[in-house]
């Protein structure tokens, strides 16, 4: 799947579904059961490698997993790959080199975290043909500064996030992940932007939803508030994935209990 197809579906009001994915087998399974976007997330540092945060993940590891996912999905879903911590923050040229590595591995788009500080980098990348998904709200790569807690709950922080979203779109970002922010704010941002928003703990009004695969499968020991175990009541993994897709597209997930 290519970006114009994905954007057209969002423009028509179709809810987009996304899950993290780290290998070829799950890539094939997710694509066959209705997942639109496979996020090769640096969350693999926690879910696959057993680290406490995403920070130890390297660019080489991200390229390895992106390659595996791209081969497994075989063009049947859209692949977004995270730029890992330390691979893009120095300057735009470093970001381009890292993004090019992930695109060569099979990504259709790269994702980076941050607001105003990343605007020039997003502009640099998109002007050179690299599609970018921005990420605002809770930023896992900044966990040492913020902790794992909901963001933009104060008026000043909400105003800054709204401005950052506008500036990132103007710089060329073509998708935006909103993580762990009040649903009212996510709705305002979604209504304001022309690009699709993908929520995770950001209420039901975003253009799409994403979850960590292990959270969906009930494998996380202490799942975050925004997660839901879709294996409950499902007879196999494929059925759990289909239940997630149906719930997102029907506007049933996330519910009030998953928001902030």
Residue 171, number of CB atoms within 10 A of its CB: 19
**β-bridge partners, 166:** none
Whether residue 2 has pLDDT greater than 90: no
Tell me if 96 sits within 8 A of 130, measured CB to CB.
yes
Give the burial string for 88-111 (b: 16+ CB within 10 Å, else e).
bbeebeebbebbebbbebbbbbbb
User: 209 by DSSP, 3-state: which?
Assistant: strand
pTM, two decimal places: 0.97
Residues above pLDDT 90, as percent of the chain: 95
Q: Please report which residue ranges of 78-223 form alpha helices under DSSP H.
A: 92-104, 119-126, 143-146, 155-171, 183-192, 213-216
Report which of 140, 42, 132 is spatially closest to residue 82, judged by C-alpha positions: 42
Whether residue 147 has pLDDT greater than 90: no
57 token code pair: 């993940």
Cα–Cα dist 38/75, whole Å? 11
Mean pLDDT over 11-29 rounds to 97
Catalytic residue among 32, 60, 169, 179: 179
In order of their start, the domains of the chain are 3-258 (3.20.20.60)
Cα–Cα dist 17/84, whole Å? 23
Cα–Cα dist 73/179, whole Å? 25
Q: Is 113 annotated in the active site? A: no
The pLDDT tens digits for 210-230 are 999 999 999 999 999 999 999
127 token code pair: 């002007």
Question: What does each C-alpha distance from 107 to 37, 148, 165, 221, 233 come to in angstroms?
Answer: 11, 27, 23, 30, 33
The pLDDT tens digits for 74-119 are 999 999 999 999 999 999 999 999 999 999 999 999 999 999 999 9
Whose tokens are 């595996």? That residue is: 68
Cα–Cα dist 58/55, whole Å? 8
């Amino acid at each position: 799947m290519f970006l114009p197809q994905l954007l057209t579906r969002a423009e028509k009001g179709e809810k987009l579904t996304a899950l993290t994915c780290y290998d070829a087998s799950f890539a094939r399974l997710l694509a066959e059961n209705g997942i639109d976007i496979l996020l090769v997330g640096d969350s693999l540092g926690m879910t696959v490698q057993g680290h406490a945060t995403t920070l130890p993940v390297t660019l080489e590891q991200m390229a390895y997993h992106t390659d595996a996912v791209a081969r497994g999905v075989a063009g049947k879903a859209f692949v977004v790959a995270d730029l890992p911590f330390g691979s893009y923050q120095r300057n735009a040229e470093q970001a381009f080199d890292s993004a090019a590595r992930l695109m060569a591995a099979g990504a259709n788009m790269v994702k980076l975290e941050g607001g105003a500080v990343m605007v020039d980098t997003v502009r640099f990348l998109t002007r050179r043909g690299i599609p970018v998904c921005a990420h605002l709200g809770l930023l896992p790569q900044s966990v040492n500064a913020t902790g794992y807690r909901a963001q933009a709950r104060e008026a000043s922080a909400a105003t800054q996030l709204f401005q950052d979203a506008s500036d990132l779109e103007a710089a060329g970002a073509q998708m935006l992940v909103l993580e762990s922010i009040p649903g009212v704010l996510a709705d305002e941002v979604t209504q304001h932007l022309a690009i699709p928003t993908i929520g995770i703990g950001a209420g039901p009004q975003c253009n799409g939803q994403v979850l960590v695969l292990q959270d969906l499968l009930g494998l996380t020991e202490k799942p975050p508030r925004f997660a839901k175990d879709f294996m409950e009541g499902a007879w196999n993994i494929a059925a759990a994935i289909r239940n997630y897709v149906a719930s997102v597209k029907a506007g049933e997930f996330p519910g009030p209990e998953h928001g902030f």
